[in-house]
Amino acid sequence: MSSRFYIRLESKHDIPVIRKIHQSVFPTWSEAELVDYLQSEGDGVLSLVARRGGALAGHILFSRLTAVESMGLKAVALGPLAVLESYQGKGVGTALVSEGIKILHGQGVDVIFVLGDPAFYGRFGFTAEQARNFETPYDGPNQQALALTERGRYAHGLIRYAPAFADLPNAPLQTDD
């Protein structure tokens, strides 16, 4: 099903549409602002769009994390992820996450973190158990991780998110989970 969509790297012409996609699917504009902030601060690691015909259907951003106690560990955060409502349930979100994981694996990333519904992210191999090796600002049942390397699997310690996550007013991921 995902083959009907073309996943590619974001180009600068996509930026206004990406912003609109996030604004339209989330209850507030916080996720759209988070995307802008992460990208303008240079903390975006990988930004992919899903395209169908001439239209963008979805977007995913991965951003840099700092593994404070595991020097050199390559860790990234998944999110925000958004698929326009009219394209949801057609495999676009799955294709964006899968392609992102594949590219990051190729880049030698050790571990990816995501805060989200385990019912969705579990299918890619993300687990809360893997995340529990680490200490993050979002620790809880919805904080999950996927190790892409042996190093990522056995690493542990404090993980710091990019400043955008804490500095945004109404930062979307500041939950009590």
Ligand X SMILES: CC(C)(COP(=O)(O)OP(=O)(O)OC[C@H]1O[C@@H](n2cnc3c(N)ncnc32)[C@H](O)[C@@H]1OP(=O)(O)O)[C@@H](O)C(=O)NCCC(=O)NCCS
Q: Does 82 bind ligand X (CB under 6 A)?
A: yes
Closest residue by Cα to residue 78 from 102, 97, 106:
97
Q: Does 172 bind ligand X (CB under 6 A)?
A: no
Q: Does 120 bind ligand X (CB under 6 A)?
A: yes
Binding-site size, ligand X (CB under 6 A): 17
Q: Does 79 bind ligand X (CB under 6 A)?
A: yes
Q: Does 94 bind ligand X (CB under 6 A)?
A: yes
Distance CA 55, CA 135 (A): 39
Q: Does 56 bind ligand X (CB under 6 A)?
A: no
Q: Does 93 bind ligand X (CB under 6 A)?
A: yes
What's the closest the beta carbon of residue 71 comes to ligand X, in angstroms?
29
Cβ-based burial of 14 (10 A; exposed 0-12, middle 13-18, buried ≥19): middle
Distance CA 165, CA 50 (A): 24
Task: Give the bridge partners for 78, in sequence order.
Answer: 62, 114
Count Cβ atoms below 10 Å from residue 136 Cβ, excluding itself. Answer: 19
Q: Does 92 bind ligand X (CB under 6 A)?
A: yes
Binding stretches for ligand X (CB under 6 A): 25-26, 79, 81-83, 88-94, 116-117, 119-120
